[in-house]
Amino acid sequence: MTKILHILNGDSTYAIFKESSISGDVVICREMLCEGTVVKDVGSDQFWKERYSYFKNEFGVDKLDYFDKTLKEIIKLQDVSDYREVVLWFEYDLFCQINLMALATYLLKSYRKDIKYFLVCTGKEKGKTQLLSLADYSPKEYEDLYQNKIKLSRNDLLFAQIVWEIYSENDADSLKSFDFNQSKKFIYLQAAIDQHLMRFKDENGLNQIDHKILSIIDTGIQNEKQLINKLLIWQKKETVYGFGDMQYINYIKKLKSFIIIENGKMKLNQKGKEIV
């Protein structure tokens, strides 16, 4: 075993990674397990069935596209016996932390003592006030990130499995009662779970993101593009969701019963105004 396997959190990271001098094979995670139905048994037939159904129903993704872009990549992790080192590259936000927990759980299935497992997870940086994503680093800085990677033991992967199983149960009380700060390796996990808890529905059937969308519309905006831009600014300053346009477009779509388009502008209807 002489090779290294890098598991990257997305294509944007790969675009930077490939310009660095870091050697090794790459698997790109093109999932967003923080959204949609998930099951405990990562990589099982039921797991993939639920994930494909979510992407098909919510975004109209073709089965072959899902297989080629997502499933075909991740199932490469079923057998990593050709590698001496496996490195997970992820970020501090909810989007990345949940994917990280699932992939660590998946790797545990084929765990080998003769393979070393590592984590590169960006977030806090000395001298910086804002948390940093992998997009904030240059290819040269990726080399420094790699050199400072954190070793993951089998116990760390087992902890990730426990977290994944709790998350997949989708029970707010279980999430609130568990101490996600137990691990010194996954230091951004508690904040990510705290953010996730803000997505549970209130008495109006809405969550934090829904209320933010309605409140932004109420302040006056021109169109959906403006709305998404404001959501991304809010996200960066006040949350750790780590969502992109696609996720927020889906949230907006589900709030159509509160929104009207008048003279080309998005506005709240009476129902929406009452909620705000």
Tens of pLDDT along the chain (276 residues) come to 569 999 999 999 999 999 999 999 999 999 999 999 999 999 999 999 999 999 999 999 999 999 999 999 999 999 999 999 999 999 999 999 999 999 999 999 999 999 999 999 999 999 998 999 999 999 999 999 999 999 999 999 999 999 999 999 999 999 999 999 999 999 999 999 999 999 999 999 999 999 999 999 999 988 999 999 999 999 999 999 999 999 999 999 999 999 998 888 899 999 999 999
Q: What is the DSSP string of 213-234?
A: HHHHHHH--SSHHHHHHHHHHH
Cβ 25 vs Cβ 4: under 8 Å: yes
Fold classification of 208-275 (topology level): Arc Repressor Mutant, subunit A (1.10.10)
Domain boundaries, the chain: 3-197, 208-275
- How far apart are the C-alpha atoms of 55 and 49, rounded to whole Å? 10
Q: What is the pLDDT of residue 2?
A: 61
- How far apart are the C-alpha atoms of 210 and 202, rounded to whole Å? 10
Query: In a 3-state reduction of DSSP, which class is residue 48?
Result: helix
208-275 and 3-197 share a CATH fold: no
pTM equals 0.96
Nearby residues of 105 by Cβ (< 8 Å), 6 or more positions away = 42, 157, 160, 161, 164
Nearby residues of 213 by Cβ (< 8 Å), 6 or more positions away = 227, 231, 248, 251, 252, 255
E strands in the chain: 3-8, 25-28, 83-91, 116-122, 150-152, 259-262, 265-268
- How far apart are the C-alpha atoms of 229 and 231, rounded to whole Å? 5
C-alpha closest to that of 37 among 28, 26, 25, 49: 49
- How far apart are the C-alpha atoms of 86 and 79, rounded to whole Å? 11
- Is 3-197 CATH 3.40.1360.10? yes
Query: In a 3-state reduction of DSSP, which class is residue 29?
Result: coil
Q: What is the pLDDT of residue 37?
A: 94
Cβ 106 vs Cβ 74: under 8 Å: yes
Q: What is the pLDDT of residue 264?
A: 81
* Amino acid at position 224, single letter: E
Q: What is the pLDDT of residue 167?
A: 98
Q: What is the DSSP letter of 244?
A: -
